């Protein structure tokens, strides 16, 4: 072995602890890089599979491609995959010729079609011969009587032909065409499948699929091809070679192949991973860097000696690089393994959460790619090289004699002179000595302090961030007092009665409430406002620069609650039915405003958490909007007009853009009582509860259900509604429970990953601290022996080291806490816009961080000192002389 290599190896052996810690550092950082890249690969793979599932694996779709073109394409070497369906033609499913046609568009699939294309059965099976057919769900939805598996279906198949003889395709909308029937075919329905993605939303025919039987059809095909390249320009060049009625590029699938239509597409995932990798690299570099820099500076003396007997810089440089290489070769494979294993386990453990987050029919599957491992290893290598080369460069700049004397490591600074007096008074000689060590070999301490401070910053700010996230999710989901809601359009009171009776009896539904909502305005007078709100309005409105008169009116909601719910509210307000009937009006629920605002200069932050209304208000001037058709009420306000101030209501047209202003009509409504209950989940600043019978006829009714199993309840709801002959619209269902579950699951995932990240980064920092502290102690072994030989007792030694630990900890906190505060402040400001947390940082995290700093330092010190204390002074003294 080369002499320099053997020097590197022997020095690594001699400093076993440090070498091991350095390797652990490499393992940890490579593991983290691997975790990120593996997670990225897994997500990308997931997206690819989802895209393939939803959109198919083709790049280009050719509509109405003639047979000879298809043959030509089959021979094209650029084509990696090609699947086609022969167009058998259109059939009109409407019996009544007077109505506009309802087409089904029949394709005869080739063998690979069902695998490559998004064909997903909901019932039955795929067709196996030319006599079998599957129909899309949305076709059934448009038919008066839906087809079921087992039905037989006779179709008059033909072409849509214009007067001038032109044949229309799927890319042509329905014109004044006629259907020229080519043949009659009878199919048996063997399956129902999901609306296919390859059919456009405005395509005239609903695609039914059968299989080709070899007999002659129209000779025209819908073909789907994937090229061996995914570059947009080349794909365009490819499809322009063929003549089809129209071509479509499958951008959704191409995107997951790394091909974007627009150059400046910012990959969010990539950016996120980049930031993470950068942070970890920072931590890792600081650890590995300090390990190498200690190793090098310790060996500066040795380097000096070698240089003085003729070693070139290059040779010395190589020694360090060789050491780095050894460390990397041992650490990297273990790190790769640990990272891959870690993500695998995490995915296993979070399976449930991921399923709910990506609620597709496709589960998230662990996926490792060679590229992801290579990237992780490369970043790891880069980290090690950066860490090794810089200290080596620095060491080379030192002259041989400087190196031998270590005159750069130990220096007196001007501030030293008076230094240590206080320490001497407080901690005696040991205190003074450690202070001197601290001051005069500052370089050695810097790494320790910086990595301690960095762990504090990372730990506290990441925990704070997680805290914000948690609170946001909790706040955003706790509003709904029901598990399932359904909006019923225009239902007669009789039918509503019937429905609610039916549903209340249903075992899947625990309680049922219903209500109608009306958006109203409230004309506010100065004395109606609470003092806190006035203060808020003064600041907020001045700053926000809108018309202060707008405050003159507030938006409010009237909730017309069902009899039982209203009775509960009356009871809570302390009223009997008779008492209420005498006064009328509504039961008020004044919602709390939780607003963050700033004063005019923006330098003071206020939080107002209270009601708009003064508690003494007994009567409200309400504005019931008279909304014209096609408009929506927005708000009311006082406006200056020729004949003085008038109260007006503003409306927006539903198709956007147009504002309508009408004079507002007010009416007095007394506040019969007050409640804090919110059984309906109304969130306005002012909510008035009134009995359901007061609701305007024909207004929309919200059904609010409490249930154990939201899916089962939704089924019951559907049957109930269908039974009444009403249309059931699945998009009118609102399911806060599953929404909350999804959000909590997403949160769990975020938390697991962020805490995993925090813990690993902290581990790196701990290793770093341990490393620097123990090396520091090791290099001072001789000094300790010396001190003992001139009579320092073991107790004195302990005191000295304790004092040093305190110095370390305080310094680290002195650096770390302001940085943490700064970061927390930035985060708090950023989140203040959307959520007004009064908490600034996560206090438990802060405490843990502060305690851990001292714990880590003291533990490292104790470990490092455990051998030194037993030293026979002379052995230690001799150790470094030879």
Partner 1 sequence: MELLRTEHLTKTYGSGENAVHALNDVSFSIEKGEFVAIIGPSGSGKSTLLHVLGGVDKPTSGHVYMNGEDVYSRSDNALAIFRRREVGLIYQFYNLIPVLSVVENITLPVLMDGRKVNDERLHELLRTLQLEGREKHLPNQLSGGQQQRVSIARALMNAPSVVLADEPTGNLDSKNSQEIVELLKYSNKQYGQTLIVITHDESIALQAQRVIAIEDGRITRDEVLRK
Residues in contact with partner 1 by the rule CB under 8 A: 405-407, 410-412, 428-429, 432-433, 436-437, 440-441, 782-783, 786-796, 872-875, 877, 881
Minimum CB distance to partner 1 smaller for 328 or for 437 = 437
The torsion of the CA quartet 558, 564, 569, 571, rounded to 10 degrees, works out to 150
Minimum CB distance to partner 1 smaller for 162 or for 410 = 410
Beta carbon of residue 800, minimum distance to partner 1 (angstroms, whole number): 11
Strand partners, 558: 518, 688
Angle between the N-to-C axes of helices 442-477 and 843-868, in degrees from 0 to 180, rounded to the nearest 10: 150
Minimum CB distance to partner 1 smaller for 725 or for 795 = 795
Pair of tokens at residue 187:
């199919």
Comparing CA positions, the residue from 848, 879, 825, 827 lying closest to residue 755 is 848
Pair of tokens at residue 244:
């089809």
Beta carbon of residue 430, minimum distance to partner 1 (angstroms, whole number): 9
Pair of tokens at residue 93:
């499913």
Beta carbon of residue 783, minimum distance to partner 1 (angstroms, whole number): 5
User: What gap in Å lies between CA 70 and CA 235, rounded to an integer?
Assistant: 17
Question: If you ran DSSP here, which 8-state letter would residue 657 be given?
Answer: S
Beta carbon of residue 13, minimum distance to partner 1 (angstroms, whole number): 20
Beta carbon of residue 15, minimum distance to partner 1 (angstroms, whole number): 19
Beta carbon of residue 294, minimum distance to partner 1 (angstroms, whole number): 16
Minimum CB distance to partner 1 smaller for 269 or for 412 = 412
HSE-up of residue 17 (Cα within 13 Å, Cβ side): 18
Question: Residue 497: enclosing H or E segment and its boundaries?
Answer: helix 493-505
Beta carbon of residue 797, minimum distance to partner 1 (angstroms, whole number): 9
Minimum CB distance to partner 1 smaller for 454 or for 778 = 778
The owner of tokens 């405490």 is: 847
Beta carbon of residue 411, minimum distance to partner 1 (angstroms, whole number): 8
Minimum CB distance to partner 1 smaller for 364 or for 432 = 432
User: What gap in Å lies between CA 197 and CA 138, rounded to an integer?
Assistant: 12
Beta carbon of residue 781, minimum distance to partner 1 (angstroms, whole number): 12
Comparing CA positions, the residue from 353, 431, 311, 513 lying closest to residue 800 is 431
- Alpha helical stretches, state H, 666-735: 710-723
Report the 10 Å Cβ neighbour count for 363. 11
Question: Residue 80: enclosing H or E segment and its boundaries?
Answer: strand 79-92
Beta carbon of residue 433, minimum distance to partner 1 (angstroms, whole number): 8
Minimum CB distance to partner 1 smaller for 773 or for 813 = 773
Beta carbon of residue 446, minimum distance to partner 1 (angstroms, whole number): 15
Beta carbon of residue 475, minimum distance to partner 1 (angstroms, whole number): 56
Beta carbon of residue 391, minimum distance to partner 1 (angstroms, whole number): 20
| Long-range Cβ contacts of 503-507 (<8 Å, 24+ apart) | 503/703, 503/705, 503/716, 503/717, 503/720, 506/713, 506/716, 506/720
Minimum CB distance to partner 1 smaller for 522 or for 797 = 797
Minimum CB distance to partner 1 smaller for 335 or for 430 = 430
Minimum CB distance to partner 1 smaller for 279 or for 429 = 429
Instruction: Please give the order of strands across the beta sheet that includes 631-641.
Output: 631-641, 644-653, 659-663
Minimum CB distance to partner 1 smaller for 182 or for 442 = 442
Could you tell me what percentage of the chain is helix, strand and coil, using 3-state DSSP and rounding each to the nearest 5? 50, 20, 25
- Residues 6 or more apart whose CB falls under 8 angstroms from that of 488 comprise 496, 499, 700, 701, 702, 703, 721, 726, 732
Minimum CB distance to partner 1 smaller for 378 or for 874 = 874
- Residues 6 or more apart whose CB falls under 8 angstroms from that of 424 comprise 431, 432
- Residues 6 or more apart whose CB falls under 8 angstroms from that of 274 comprise none
**Phi/psi class of residue 184: alpha, beta or left (left: φ > 0; alpha: ψ in -120 to 50)?**
beta
Beta carbon of residue 287, minimum distance to partner 1 (angstroms, whole number): 26
Cα angle 785-791-796, degrees, rounded to a multiple of 5: 80
Beta carbon of residue 439, minimum distance to partner 1 (angstroms, whole number): 8
Helix (H, G, I), strand (E, B), or coil: what is residue 405? Answer: helix
User: What gap in Å lies between CA 455 and CA 207, rounded to an integer?
Assistant: 59
- Residues 6 or more apart whose CB falls under 8 angstroms from that of 231 comprise 259
Minimum CB distance to partner 1 smaller for 309 or for 790 = 790
- Alpha helical stretches, state H, 15-146: 16-55, 67-75, 113-116, 137-142
The owner of tokens 């003729």 is: 310
Minimum CB distance to partner 1 smaller for 653 or for 802 = 802
Minimum CB distance to partner 1 smaller for 681 or for 796 = 796
Report the 10 Å Cβ neighbour count for 254. 22
User: What gap in Å lies between CA 389 and CA 641, rounded to an integer?
Assistant: 78
Minimum CB distance to partner 1 smaller for 592 or for 872 = 872
Beta carbon of residue 862, minimum distance to partner 1 (angstroms, whole number): 18
């Amino acid at each position: 072995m080369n002499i320099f290599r053997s020097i590197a190896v022997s020095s690594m052996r001699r400093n076993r602890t440090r070498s091991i810690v350095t390797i652990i550092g490499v393992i940890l950082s490579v593991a983290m890089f691997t975790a990120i890249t593996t997670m990225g690969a897994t997500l990308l793979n997931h997206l690819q599979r989802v895209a393939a599932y939803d959109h198919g694996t083709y790049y280009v779709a050719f509509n109405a491609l003639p047979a000879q073109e298809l043959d030509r394409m089959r021979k094209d070497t650029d084509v990696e995959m090609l699947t086609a369906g022969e167009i058998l033609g259109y059939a009109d499913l409407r019996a009544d010729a007077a109505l506009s046609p309802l087409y089904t568009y029949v394709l005869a699939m080739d063998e690979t079609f069902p695998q490559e294309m998004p064909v997903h059965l909901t019932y039955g099976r795929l067709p196996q011969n030319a006599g079998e057919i599957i129909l899309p769900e949305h076709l059934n939805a448009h038919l008066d009587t839906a087809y079921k598996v087992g039905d037989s279906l006779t179709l008059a198949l033909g072409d849509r032909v214009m007067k001038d003889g032109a044949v229309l395709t799927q890319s042509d909308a329905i014109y004044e065409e006629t259907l020229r029937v080519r043949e009659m075919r009878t199919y048996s329905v063997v399956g129902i499948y999901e609306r296919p993605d390859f059919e456009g939303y405005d395509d005239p025919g609903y695609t039914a699929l059968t299989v080709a039987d070899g007999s002659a059809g129209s000779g025209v095909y819908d073909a789907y091809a994937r090229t061996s390249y995914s570059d947009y320009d080349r794909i365009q060049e490819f499809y322009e070679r063929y003549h089809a009625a129209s071509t479509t590029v499958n951008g959704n699938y191409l995107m997951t192949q790394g091909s974007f239509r627009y150059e400046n597409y910012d990959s969010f995932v990539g950016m996120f991973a980049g930031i993470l990798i950068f942070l970890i690299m920072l931590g890792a570099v600081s650890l590995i860097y300090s390990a190498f820099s200690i190793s090098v500076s310790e060996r500066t003396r040795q380097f000096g000696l070698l240089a003085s007997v003729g070693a070139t810089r290059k040779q010395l440089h190589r020694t360090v690089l060789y050491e780095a290489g050894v460390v990397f070769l041992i650490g990297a494979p273990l790190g790769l393994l640990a990272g891959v294993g870690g993500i695998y386990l995490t995915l296993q453990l979070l399976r449930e959460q991921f399923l709910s987050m990506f609620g597709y029919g496709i589960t998230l599957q662990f996926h490792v790619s060679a590229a992801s491992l290579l990237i992780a290893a490369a970043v790891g290598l880069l980290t090690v090289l950066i860490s090794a080369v810089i200290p080596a460069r620095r060491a080379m700049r030192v002259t041989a004699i400087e190196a031998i004397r270590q005159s750069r490591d130990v220096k007196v600074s001007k501030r030293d002179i008076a230094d240590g007096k206080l320490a001497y008074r407080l901690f005696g000689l040991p205190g003074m000595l450690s202070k001197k060590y601290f001051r005069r070999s500052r370089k050695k301490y810097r790494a320790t302090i910086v990595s301690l401070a960095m762990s504090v910053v990372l730990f506290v700010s990441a925990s704070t961030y997680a805290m914000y996230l948690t609170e946001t999710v909790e706040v955003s989901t706790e509003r709904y007092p029901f598990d399932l809601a359904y909006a019923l359009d225009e239902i007669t009171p009789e039918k509503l009665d019937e429905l609610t009776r039916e549903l209340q009896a249903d075992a899947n539904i625990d309680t049922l409430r219903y209500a109608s909502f009306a958006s109203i305005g409230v004309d506010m007078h100065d004395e109606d406002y609470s003092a806190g709100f006035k203060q808020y309005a003064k600041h907020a409105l001045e700053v926000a620069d809108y018309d202060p008169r707008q405050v003159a009116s507030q938006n409010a909601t009237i909730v017309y609650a069902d009899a039982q719910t209203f009775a509960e509210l009356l009871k809570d307000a302390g009223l009997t039915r008779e008492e209420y009937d005498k006064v009328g009006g509504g039961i008020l629920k004044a919602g709390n405003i939780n607003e963050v605002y700033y004063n005019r200069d923006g330098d003071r932050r206020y939080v107002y958490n209270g009601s708009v209304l003064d508690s003494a208000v007994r009567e409200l001037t309400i504005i019931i909007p008279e909304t014209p058709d096609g408009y929506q009420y927005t708000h009311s306000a006082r406006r200056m007009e020729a004949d003085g101030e008038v109260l007006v209501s503003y409306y927006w047209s539903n198709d956007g853009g147009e504002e309508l202003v009408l004079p507002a009509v007010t009416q007095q409504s007394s506040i019969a009582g007050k409640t804090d209950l919110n059984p309906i989940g109304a969130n306005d600043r002012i909510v008035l509860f009134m009995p359901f019978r007061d609701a305007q006829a024909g207004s929309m009714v919200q059904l609010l259900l409490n249930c154990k199993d939201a899916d089962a309840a939704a089924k019951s709801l559907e049957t109930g509604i269908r039974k009444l002959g009403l249309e059931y619209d699945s998009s009118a269902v609102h399911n806060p429970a599953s929404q909350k579950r999804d959000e909590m699951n997403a949160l769990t995932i975020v938390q697991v990953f962020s805490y995993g990240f925090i813990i690993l980064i902290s581990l790196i920092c701990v290793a770093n601290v341990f490393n620097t502290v123990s090396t520091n102690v090791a290099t001072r072994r001789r000094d300790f022996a010396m001190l003992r030989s001139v009579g320092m007792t073991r107790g004195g030694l302990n005191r000295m080291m304790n004092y040093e630990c305190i110095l370390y900890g305080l310094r680290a906190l002195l650096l770390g806490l302001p940085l943490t505060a700064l970061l927390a402040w930035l985060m708090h400001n950023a989140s203040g816009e959307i959520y007004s947390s009064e908490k600034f940082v996560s206090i438990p995290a802060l405490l843990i961080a502060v305690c851990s700093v001292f714990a880590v330092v003291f533990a490292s010190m104790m470990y490092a000192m455990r051998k030194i204390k037993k030293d026979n002074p002379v052995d230690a003294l001799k150790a470094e002389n030879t």
